[in-house]
Amino acid sequence: MKIVLVIDQFDDANNGTTISARRFASALKAHGNEVRVIATGKPTDYKYAVRQMRFLPIVEHLITSQGMRLAIPNKHVFEKAAAWADVVHFMMPSPLAIMGLKHVERLGIPHTAAFHCQPENITFTLHMGNSKRANDFVYNRFRDTFFNRFTHIHCPSHMIANQLKEHGYTAQLHVISNGISPQYVYGRSPKEDWMSGMFNVLMVGRYAGEKRQDVLIDACAECRHKDEIQVILAGKGPLERKYRKLCQKLPNPAVMEFFEPARLLEILHMADLYVHTSDAEIEAMSCMEAFACGLVPVIADSPRSATPQFALDDRSLFPAGDSAALAEKIDWWIEHPREREEMGRRYGESARQYALERSIEQTEDMFRQAIHELNRR
């Protein structure tokens, strides 16, 4: 198949949607498909380049705090790309995508969409993340301006598919995991000097309101074994200054740094426990990659997050936002190394069901279905 992926940002992999798009593009190519991308940045042999939008500072902050950029719609680029494609896959409900959708509809090109932008990603940045009315408004806005013009939508989890059903989305919903890349496999490595002698508690994620790293910091400060713990917050984002200040309460200096994928993979194989405190997640690739490497996860049991689906038992769950309950879970895993080792193996085995290869096959099936249905008309 000739596949065009539409995503405003493709070059800088500092958010989950972009990371997913880059992995899907590579894996689809490996399956023998031809893949091109419409995105900002410099043109390449596989990318149709469009220019980046510029905004007033307050709007720019809202967008960049999600690790994203928005593109200026360009109808000439879309006409050229659509003429080449068998199917066009839209990954964000952005102005670029809304304009592009009009062109593929007019030209009769098969098209599908993915739901990667959870409304809470926007509302938490506006300090309205706990407002049902605000989140419902975003769901409904996405539905009316974009998603209800599709017949096929990729949903990374059942949680988000159920949200779309509840909000009146009419397309066929394909629950397909973002998938775990094959390099994330079970294995433990000797600790480097900076980790040696410590119980290393890791969380990977953007420093943003919905991720709730503050809960992890507070929990580790409350742990009975707090003097043994080193907190590692892998990421970057708008709340970095706040979290660095909050980390001052910890007995041991926290590590706050953005790690490139190869380096992060090494750390995953050396850390002792993975914690995922996020209040809102469509799936959480970082958590999947962690337990694929054999790290036991401790996950916030939030109704707005799909991540609790990965827990193999209640020892991997805590009430969202409850730092005292999380501290108890961390202490328990510190005190039970044999159980932690056993469960690490089980989590490594459970990760196989989320293999990227399987996700690509399911996505190809969705594309073929969209192409077949349009050709029958």
Give the CA radius of gyration of the chain.
21
Residue 144 to residue 9: CA distance in whole angstroms: 23
Residue 32 structure tokens: 């023998």
Evaluate whether 135 touches 72 at the Cβ level (below 8 Å): no
Diameter over CA atoms, the chain: 67
Residues 6+ apart with CB under 8 A from 119: 134, 135, 138, 139, 142
Residue 62 structure tokens: 């809202």
> Parallel, antiparallel, or unpaired for β 199-204 and 172-175?
unpaired
Tokens 């990227």 belong to which residue?
356
Q: What is the pLDDT of residue 209?
A: 87
pTM score of the predicted model: 0.89
Q: What is the pLDDT of residue 60?
A: 60
Q: 204 phi and psi, to 5 degrees?
A: -115, 125
> Parallel, antiparallel, or unpaired for β 87-90 and 111-114?
parallel
Of 249, 250, 272, 268, whose CA–CA distance to 260 is shortest?
268
* Full pLDDT tens readout for the chain, 377 residues: 999 999 887 766 566 777 888 889 899 999 999 999 988 877 787 877 777 766 666 556 556 666 667 767 777 888 888 788 999 999 989 888 998 999 889 888 999 999 988 878 777 666 666 788 888 888 899 999 999 999 999 999 999 999 999 999 999 999 999 999 999 999 999 999 999 999 999 999 999 888 999 999 999 999 999 999 999 999 988 899 999 999 999 999 999 999 999 999 999 999 999 999 999 999 999 999 999 999 999 999 999 899 999 999 999 999 999 999 999 999 999 999 999 999 999 999 999 999 999 999 999 999 999 999 877 66
Q: What is the pLDDT of residue 51?
A: 75
Walk me through the domains of the chain, giving residue ranges and CATH numbers. 2-179+355-376 (3.40.50.2000), 199-353 (3.40.50.2000)
Residues 6+ apart with CB under 8 A from 55: 63, 70
Q: How is residue 305 annotated by DSSP?
A: B
Q: What is the pLDDT of residue 128?
A: 66
Q: What is the pLDDT of residue 72?
A: 73
